[in-house]
């Protein structure tokens, strides 16, 4: 049985959800899930979609994109901002580190100069809280609100106490930083300019303000390698402060922190609004931890599961937790934020500006999950993308707080916005978004003003030739780029259709079919063509590059050929029909996580986004029982709640969202459309508490080893279709599955029962 804590109305950003029984779900979440090698999550304290992520940074042989590696044994500091599961390091600004001893005699030689050992036995991580006892006896406890952090540092008896604050701790190296101590206010503040996500040219400034609950006994600052005792200011590429405290009467030092992308004054205002200084005691810290836990519980309770094992629940809620961390808040409590034009703006009343959109990843299934569970937040995310376009000149590909980084390729904002709309997040200026997306899809001159990144590289060639040719200008992955534009065009066509714009719907639906121009009937794969229409020589199904050009991005022909989610019927016909396509898919799943190299590089790579849709393709081919088996196989062999939880990078929640959908027995298989392809639920009963109504998913005989559907009723009506539309359940509804350990090869197999394809 799952413990409950009574009836309560969920708190948070979204309103209008009826009261329902709240389960105690934070106990099932393990924030250390995914902190192993290659997963790149962080274990620290964070609020849902929070601006500030206060988390430990560990030392190892290389930089860690999440700041923390489970196999490491040294913590260098606890910095204030992180991203979860990305493939590149970013953030880790303003590292705090309590140390034993008085004022040091020299500035830190490196960021890790004051690292200290720790053991996982002395570590606790749960939603909204992180705690650890270092090997030297110092105990650290951290919690957060949306924009602030509350820290407690407890020093061993009879020790002197100092806290180091590193203003230049950016993982990619600060361009410039400064720090200021106000001893009268017990505060320290500063700023750092940096960025360069994945080595790209994005640059921005982040500010911080921190206030302690007691005066400083002594302090010093450093600028570069020069340390000055009693000096209130430090600056340079490397700067920071040492703050010493008298712990003879109390061994505990408390601190409240915040960041802002606008100013130190705004960071201070965030603290005053979300974590008042009148509440600054040990008891207040414990109250803050309980509040953070309650905040998470309210959100996790949007999906309540019953049945299943303890381990299955822990994996499910750990995945749901990670899917709800990003995109992150980037506007201050007063609504101010740094726009993509380099100027300060104020969000409209009642809105939040969001950043850190891992676009190429999250359009595939996370945006749909967020729109379904938190439609007001998701609407603000869609509006944030539109605002970025208006201020920056182009919709972002991978938007960091101050500008678009330009990382990856394609036009991911298009399916993201269409996803949000299709799954119920509609409180944004959809018509203006459509107009901007249409311009980006048809005008080769749409470019980000500060990063000089074209929204669609090689768009002129794409529109003229019907594909991106070999040796195209300004990008990489010519085949992948074509397929990404196809998916974006399709998604915008669906948004246009929903808004009554039939002409643009038709135009972009025709552009979406350009994939056919790259399908070689002789090889049966989507591959690279030259500008004159000839096929580029040297093609192999298991390589990324050939003829001296990168044809694919993070994948091979064998993996990308399936990426036509909006017209899988047309793809199967190109391959020779459903039977041949099914046989090819069977071979494809000989391995589940083959990667993108070597002789097996053409097989499934479920650790990367282009392959996430592939297990669901069987439903389009009349073999839904194979979707049911394959999805369950991926879930049980490649995912867990452990440090090695994922088959690859979580990519700011995308992999997590895939698992959540898989456990629900549903999947948004056509980005931009509201189709939900069906698998089979992992749990016997699941309740979705949506804004407009409650959805109940029941699965008789559900278990890990019973993935096969024998029968299904949707809203009380029996159906053999292995798909529904979100609109079927968006106002409440029910799905009742009858499951078995043995496949029913007839259910859902008729051609007319397949999910839709758009030609």
Chain segment 408-429, per-residue pLDDT in tens: 999 999 999 999 999 999 999 9
- Most distant pair of Cα atoms in the chain: their distance: 81
* Percent of the chain scoring above 90 in pLDDT: 93
Question: Tokens 């080769």 map to which residue?
Answer: 444
Q: Does pLDDT of 13 surpass 60?
A: no
> Are the C-beta atoms of residues 206 and 261 closer than 8 Å to each other?
yes
Q: Quick check: 8 pLDDT over 50?
A: no
DSSP 101: S
**What is the spatial distance between Cα 425 and Cα 268, in angstroms, rounded to a whole number?**
32
Whole-number percent of the chain with pLDDT over 70: 97
306 vs 2: CA distance, rounded Å: 8
- The length of the chain, given as a count of residues: 759
Structure-block tokens of residue 732 = 């409440």
pLDDT value of residue 4: 30
- The residues with which 712 forms a beta bridge, in sequence order, are 737
Three-state DSSP string of 199-249: HCCCEEEEEEEEEECCCCCEEEEEECCEEEECCCEEEECCEEEEEEECCCC
Q: Output the DSSP codes for 265-318.
A: HHHHHHHHHHS-TT--SHHHHHHHHHHHHHHHHHHHTTEEEESS-HHHHHHHHH
Crossing angle of helices 366-373 and 375-392, in 10° steps, is: 120
How do residues 374-408 score in pLDDT, each as one tens digit?
Answer: 999 999 999 999 999 999 999 999 999 999 999 99
Confirm if 356 and 405 have CB atoms less than 8 A apart. no
Mean pLDDT on 28-40: 95
Given a cut of 90, is residue 562 above it in pLDDT? yes
Which string of DSSP letters, residue by residue, matches 368-403? HHHHHH-HHHHHHHHHHHHHHHHHHSS--SEE-SSS
Spatial separation of the C-alpha atoms in residues 42 and 574, rounded to whole Å: 44
Tokens, residue 259: 């960041």
Contacts of 318 (CB under 8 A, 6+ apart): 28, 29, 30, 31, 33, 34, 641, 645, 656
The residue behind tokens 């410039």 is 176
**Mean pLDDT score of the chain:** 95
Give the pLDDT confidence of 154-185 residue by residue, as tens digits. Answer: 999 988 899 999 999 999 999 999 999 999 99
CA dist list (Å): 624 to 592, 618, 620, 621, 745: 18, 5, 8, 8, 8
The answer to whether residue 36 scores a pLDDT higher than 50 is yes
Is residue 3 predicted with pLDDT exceeding 50? no
The model's pLDDT over 677-694, given as tens digits with 9 standing for 90+, comes to 999 999 999 999 999 999
Domains of the chain (ranges, CATH numbers): 39-299 (2.70.98.10), 305-753 (3.30.2080.10)
- Rounded Cα gap, residues 111 and 133, in angstroms: 20
The dihedral sign for the CA sequence 633, 639, 641, 642? positive
pLDDT at 367 over 80: yes
pLDDT at residue 5 tops 90: no
Q: Residue 646: phi, psi to the nearest 5?
A: -120, 155
């Amino acid at each position: 049985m799952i413990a409950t804590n009574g009836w309560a109305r969920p708190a948070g950003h979204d309103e209008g959800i009826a009261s329902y029984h709240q389960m105690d779900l934070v106990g099932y979440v393990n924030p250390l899930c995914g902190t192993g090698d290659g997963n790149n999550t962080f274990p620290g304290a964070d609020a849902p979609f929070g601006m500030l992520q206060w988390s430990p940074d560990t030392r190892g042989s290389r930089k860690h994109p999440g700041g923390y590696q489970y196999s490491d044994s040294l913590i260098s500091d606890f910095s204030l901002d992180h991203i979860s599961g990305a493939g590149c390091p970013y953030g880790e600004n303003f590292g705090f580190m309590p140390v034993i001893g008085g004022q040091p005699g020299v500035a830190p030689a490196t960021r890790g100069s004051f690292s200290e050992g720790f053991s996982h036995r002395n570590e606790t991580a749960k939603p909204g809280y992180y705690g650890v006892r270092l090997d030297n006896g110092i105990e650290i406890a951290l919690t957060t609100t949306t924009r602030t952090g509350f820290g407690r540092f407890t020093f061993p008896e009879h020790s002197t106490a100092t806290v180091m604050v590193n203003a230049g701790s950016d993982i990619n190296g600060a361009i410039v930083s400064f720090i200021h101590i106000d001893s009268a206010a017990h505060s320290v503040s500063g700023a750092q300019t940096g960025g360069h996500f994945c080595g790209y040219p994005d640059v921005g400034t982040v500010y911080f303000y921190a206030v302690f609950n007691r005066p400083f006994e002594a302090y010093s600052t450093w600028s570069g390698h020069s340390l000055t005792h009693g000096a209130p200011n430090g600056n340079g590429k490397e700067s920071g402060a040492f703050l010493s405290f008298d712990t003879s009467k109390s061994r505990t030092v408390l601190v409240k922190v915040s960041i802002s992308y606008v100013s130190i004054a705004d960071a201070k205002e965030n603290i005053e609004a979300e974590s008042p200084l009148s509440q600054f005691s040990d008891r207040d810290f414990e109250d803050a931890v309980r509040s953070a836990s309650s905040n998470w519980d309210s959100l996790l309770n949007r999906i309540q599961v019953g049945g299943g094992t303890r381990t299955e629940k822990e994996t499910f809620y750990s995945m749901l937790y990670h899917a709800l961390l990003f995109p992150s808040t980037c506007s201050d409590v007063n609504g101010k934020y740094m726009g993509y034009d380099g100027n300060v703006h104020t969000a409209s009343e009642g809105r939040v500006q969001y950043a850190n959109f891992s676009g190429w990843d999250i359009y595939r299934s996370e945006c749909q999950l967020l729109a379904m569970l938190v439609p007001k937040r998701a609407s603000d995310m869609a509006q944030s993308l539109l605002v970025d376009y208006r201020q920056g000149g182009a919709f972002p590909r991978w938007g960091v707080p101050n500008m678009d980084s330009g990382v990856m390729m394609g036009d991911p904002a298009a399916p993201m916005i269409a996803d949000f709309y299709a799954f119920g997040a509609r409180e944004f200026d959809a018509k203006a978004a459509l107009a901007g997306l249409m311009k980006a899809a048809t005008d080769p001159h749409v470019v980000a003003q500060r990063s000089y990144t074209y929204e669609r590289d090689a768009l002129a060639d794409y529109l003229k030739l019907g594909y991106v040719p070999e040796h195209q200008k300004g990008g990489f992955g010519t085949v992948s780029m074509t397929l990404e534009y196809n998916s974006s065009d399709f998604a915008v066509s669906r948004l246009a259709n929903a808004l009554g714009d039939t002409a643009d719907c038709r135009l972009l639906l025709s552009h979406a079919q350009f994939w056919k121009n790259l399908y070689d009937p002789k090889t049966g794969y989507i591959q690279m063509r030259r500008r004159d229409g000839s096929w580029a020589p040297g093609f192999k199904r298991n390589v990324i590059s050939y003829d001296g050009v990168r044809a694919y991005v993070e994948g091979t022909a064998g993996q990308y050929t399936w990426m036509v989610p909006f017209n899988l019927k047309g793809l199967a016909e190109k391959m020779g029909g459903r039977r041949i396509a099914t046989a090819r898919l069977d071979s494809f799943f000989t391995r589940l996580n083959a990667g993108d190299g070597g002789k097996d590089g053409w097989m499934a790579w479920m650790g990367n986004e282009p392959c996430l849709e592939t297990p669901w393709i069987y439903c389009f081919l009349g073999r839904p029982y194979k979707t049911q088996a394959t999805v369950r196989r991926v879930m049980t062999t490649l995912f867990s709640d452990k440090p090695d939880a994922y088959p690859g990078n979580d990519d700011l929640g995308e992999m997590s969202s895939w698992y959540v959908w898989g456990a629900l027995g549903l999947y948004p298989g056509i980005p931009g459309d509201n189709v939900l392809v069906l698998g089979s639920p992992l749990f016997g009963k699941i309740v979705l508490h949506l804004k407009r109504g409650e959805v109940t998913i029941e699965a008789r005989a559900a278990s890990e080893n019973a993935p096969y559907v024998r029968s299904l009723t949707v809203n009380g009506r029996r159906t053999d279709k292995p798909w529904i539309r979100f609109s079927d359940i968006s106002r409440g509804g029910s799905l009742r599955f009858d499951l078995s350990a043995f496949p029913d090869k007839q259910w859902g197999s008729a051609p007319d029962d397949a999910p839709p394809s758009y030609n």
